[in-house]
Amino acid sequence: MLSRGTNCSVVQLAGRAFPGIHLQGDTFAALLKQLAEAARLLRHDPGDRAALDDLDDAVEEAERFLAFYEATLSQRGIRRPY
């Protein structure tokens, strides 16, 4: 484990060139549920404001995970895989 956050950690698996993000199962399940529900609602009504807000929230959470990952790699001098 390279770094531990609130609901995720950055881990380096043996044999892998780059670290990965480990999410708690309940965190991942909630994020997936939020995305799936927003997609379902937007298929029905593309202008559904509540669905768009849920989608924005899910994107912001994913951005926080990515920022944590990138900060950990930067602190350890590891280049990003992208």
| pLDDT computed for residue 54 by the predictor | 94
Confirm if 81 and 18 have CB atoms less than 8 A apart. yes
Per-position pLDDT tens, the chain of length 82? 999 998 999 999 999 999 999 999 999 999 999 999 999 999 999 999 999 999 999 999 999 999 999 999 999 999 999 9
In a domain, 47, yes or no: yes
| pLDDT computed for residue 45 by the predictor | 96
In a domain, 61, yes or no: yes
State how far the Cα of 78 lies from the Cα of 80, in Å rounded to an integer: 6
In a domain, 25, yes or no: yes
For the chain, the domain total comes to 1
In a domain, 81, yes or no: no
| pTM score, whole prediction | 0.89
- Which is nearest to 43 in space by CA: 67, 4, 35? 35
In a domain, 51, yes or no: yes
Residues of the domain holding 9 = 3-75
